[in-house]
Amino acid sequence: MKTQDLTMVPRSDQDASLPFPSLDGNTLQAYNKLVSTLYRCLHDNTGFQSFFDAFQQHFKALQGGILGVTSNPQRMVYGWTFGYPEGFEEWYINSDLPEKDEALTRYAQLPPRQFDSFLGGDSSRTILDILGPESRAWAEAVGMGDSAGMLVTRENGTNVVFMANRHQDFGPYTDDELLQMNLLAPHIENAVALHLKLYQSNSDNENLAMALNHVNKPLVVFNALGSIAQANDAARNLLTHTGNLFIGEDQRLHSSDKRLSRKLHDAISTCIVHSHKGHLDTRTLFIHNGPERLAICLTPLVAESVENNGVLAELFSFDIEPVPDLERIQTLFQCTPAEAAVAAALIQGLGAGAIAEEKQISIHTARQHIKNLLAKNGYRKQTELVAMLVRALG
């Protein structure tokens, strides 16, 4: 589906003075809590209600859920929902409405991990102008004002879709909110994939190790002592490929460079300590490996008891040679072409000095571009910006 009219258009240098969507400190903290709540749903098989509650409050959502829908015909086969009347899931499964649901059709046609909304922030229109008769009747009955959603995954003829409708009293979803949803999208993909394999598998012997292997991206889970609880095959293959990192006999992540090993252990331990205090922001480490750079994003996993807290590590390998997708950086992070080029260098783990040398600009200019990226996107620290860049583009 072509979504150009619904996404944020990159601005030119001349437009840089216009207002930009931003995430202030409180919003960023709330976003981090959303991520933590989402991963806490993996501790049992009850679904995603706690995450839905947090999502509903944060985004002023009316109703929605995670729905598994067959492609042809479009029918709901399973799901977790929020905000609907009692018995909605059973009624919806046994009705023909999914085939006529414009939202399901729209989101199922999107690329994975890309949130979209019907109104795209345009308050001059209403969703009733877009929907067909059946969906319009439902929207009018509940007072729906907008709808946002994403394709979580597509597998074996079933599309897993996340959708969230909004009441008309709160207006359309804003660019700020869609930005946060898009940053949240990879986490939703991770959590849903793991939950389906952990609790919806036909095998009674499914466990975290097996579930992680169903997720294609490299993932490692550390326990409360900083030891590796599980690492999926994708992560082990990537570690073997890098040559710089390996899992030791003590089940900790090590490097042949002792200073790097210390840096890794300290970062993991810091994440665990911060999780005890409710500080849930992500830390990102970069490891140079010849023509590649490895980025490790560390996200605290919060359990009911703090002694069971852990850390989820997502590993991203970046090839230095290919030209980064600067247009996507401009769209997601609302920046100029020059700032996007600096953002791409930050993803490679470069600092202001190295960026200035590589781009042949002054270090003052490089630092100013970084400051602009922080200000426009509401980040307090460069580490927060880097983590979001890696997550969004890795």
pLDDT in tens, 330-345: 877 888 999 999 988 8
CB 287 within 8 A of CB 244: yes
Mean pLDDT to the nearest integer, 145-156: 89
Residue 64 confidence (pLDDT): 93
Cα–Cα distance, 345 to 318 (Å, whole number): 11
pLDDT of residue 167: 93
- CA 278, CA 296: separation in Å to the nearest integer? 21
pLDDT value, residue 107 = 93
Determine how many CB atoms are found less than 10 A away from the CB of residue 360: 6
At 33 the three-state DSSP class reads: helix
What pTM, to 2 d.p., does this model score? 0.61
**Neighbour order of strands in the sheet with 116-117:** 76-82, 61-70, 158-167, 144-155, 116-117
Provide mean pLDDT across the span 231-237. 88
**Helix 175-199, helix 49-59: angle, nearest 10:** 180
In sequence order, the 6+-apart residues with CB closer than 8 A to the CB of 268 are: 222, 226, 253, 298, 311, 313
Q: What is the Rg, in whole angstroms, of the alpha carbon atoms belonging to the chain?
A: 21
Looking from the CA of 268 toward its CB, the CA atoms found within 13 Å total 24
Pairwise CA distance, residues 254 & 261, whole Å: 5
Res. 204 pLDDT band, cuts 50 70 90 = very low
Q: CA 88, CA 27: separation in Å to the nearest integer?
A: 32
Answer yes or no: are the C-beta atoms of 140 and 149 closer than 8 Å: no
- The CA distance from 296 to 359, in Å, is 25
